[in-house]
Amino acid sequence: MSESQGWKRYTIKENAYLRGRIGWQGLRADEFCLEGPYLVTGTDFDRGRVNWTNCYHVSEARFCEAVPIQLREGDLLVTKDGTIGKIAHVQDCPDQAVLNSGVFLLRCADGSFQHRFLYHVLTSHHFDEFLRQNLAGSTINHLYQYVFENFAFFAPDNAHQERICRILDLIDTQIEMTDALIAKQERVRAGLMQDLFMRGVDEHGQLRPPHEEAPHLYHQTELGLLPKGWEAPKLESLLAPIPTPMRSGPFGSALLKHELATSGIPFLGIDNIHVEHFKSNFIRFVTPVKFAELSRYRVLPDDVVITIMGTVGRCCVIPDGFGEMLSSKHLWTMTFDQSKVLPELVCWQLNHAPWVLSWFRARSQGGIMDAIQSSTLKELRLPLPLMTEQPRILKIYREATYHLQMMRDEVSKLALQKSGLMQDLLTGKVSVASLLERAAA
């Protein structure tokens, strides 16, 4: 892009007001308040905005001494510590709000660009690349002001910026609306699944009436009232009758770092296991010879795998079609006896069921679980429907999950579409007028 095309080059240093926290020596515990001026941190960023209901509050005195970082409507916020480069556009700003030390305040100083336009620039690949180039190899996870000041971008006149923002905002609105529908559907599904595991379904696929209406259909178990014929066994009793049906490893010298290969048998880690979703983005491998040595840790189709270190508690079922794979010490891999229980029903409970989450919390230290011990899983009790009911429950679960996945796919398509448009619009490669005509059609 060149200035001869009507786009001008701007830098944060020359054209913007950029401030971090000034003058504060840190907040004492007694300076946080139940109400008063809002204190915004990076953890309060939610989909490019500030979630005001999540913010802490500070004293009036603290707010008044931080004039350079008091917020206004339209300001841009950029995290400089922790997860660097998270962006928020200040909207519905309270009368009094101020930043904490981990966030930059950014606003136009000379009227040369619109804040919404720069917001889109900062959420584009262009800013990601700037951060990558300037922070690569840094041992300190921090974005310094003198570094950020050098960020440069091109922008057209304000009227042209407005038209570009209209297009990108339209896609953002579609994404937000779909995300809201997903959140609603997830709540509906969660309630439905809890009912299914507490009440079950009859031969017609209908939920049984609750205990209050039909007490004769229920009996007392270790997990409370469940339909007659159901049990509440320990997870260990549901494992398949094979050697090491529950496994984690290899540990120590069994597999050294230099023995990992660039191709071969995939070696699974935390990055492959997500909530109800298996990601086949394999980046670690072992040779067939090494796999044969460690075959006791192989992963089979329909295995239930849960993360036990790092991001603890994400669980999915391994799909068919990926061939041989090897588990790691960051995972528990479980093979279940499918004459007793269907793996997907175990997986949903490990991810979402309140009786499972409360069990994990009870077995954690200080309320925070930094690892899942084998005994925690083995002794966990699960509602066990009759085998004649489990396929009916699974059918309902899959139907609800399919609708959710369709909406998630739509969000992914919109995000991809936005990414392509940003590349075109923010570099002037595509005419805005033609895109607006299509958007209005």
Question: Would you list the DSSP string of 143-197?
Answer: --HHHHTT-EEEE--HHHHHHHHHHHHHHHHHHHHHHHHHHHHHHHHHHHHHHHH
Beta carbons of 219 and 225 less than 8 angstroms apart: yes
* Tokens coding 20: 């971090």
pLDDT score recorded for residue 310:
77
How far apart CA 390 and CA 341 sit, in angstroms, is 8
How far apart CA 188 and CA 194 sit, in angstroms, is 10
What angle (nearest 5°) sits at the alpha carbon of residue 49, between those of residues 119 and 89? 30
Element at 391 (helix H, strand E): helix 390-425
Largest CA distance in the chain: 82
Q: 222: helix, coil or strand?
A: coil
Phi, psi of 199 (to 5 degrees): -120, -30
pLDDT exceeds 90 at position 110: no
Nearest CA-CA partner of 235 in 249, 219, 222, 218: 222
How far apart CA 324 and CA 190 sit, in angstroms, is 33
How far apart CA 230 and CA 233 sit, in angstroms, is 9
Beta carbons of 305 and 333 less than 8 angstroms apart: yes
SS3 content of the chain, % helix, strand, coil (to 5): 40, 20, 40
Average pLDDT rounded to a whole number, residues 189-218? 94
C-alpha neighbours within 13 Å on the C-beta side of residue 89:
16
pLDDT score recorded for residue 61:
86
* Tokens coding 41: 């941190």
How far apart CA 350 and CA 338 sit, in angstroms, is 17
Beta carbons of 264 and 288 less than 8 angstroms apart: yes
Alpha helices in 336-389 (DSSP H): 343-352, 354-362, 374-378
Q: Kindly state the percentage of the chain with pLDDT values over 70.
A: 91
Phi, psi of 220 (to 5 degrees): -85, 135
Beta carbons of 278 and 319 less than 8 angstroms apart: yes
Q: If you average pLDDT over every residue of the chain, what do you get?
A: 90
How far apart CA 178 and CA 181 sit, in angstroms, is 5
pLDDT score recorded for residue 135:
83
Pairing of strands 265-266, 285-286: antiparallel
pLDDT score recorded for residue 138:
60
- β-bridge mates for residue 104, sequence order: 78
pLDDT exceeds 50 at position 99: yes
How far apart CA 142 and CA 148 sit, in angstroms, is 11
In order of 32, 35, 285, the CA distances from 96 in angstroms are 15, 11, 54
Q: With bands split at pLDDT 50, 70 and 90, how would you rate the model's confidence at 309? A: confident
* Tokens coding 38: 């809002």
pLDDT tens-digit map of 310-324: 788 999 999 999 999
DSSP classification of residue 367: T
pLDDT score recorded for residue 322:
95
> Residue with structure tokens 């309270």?
94
pLDDT score recorded for residue 429:
66
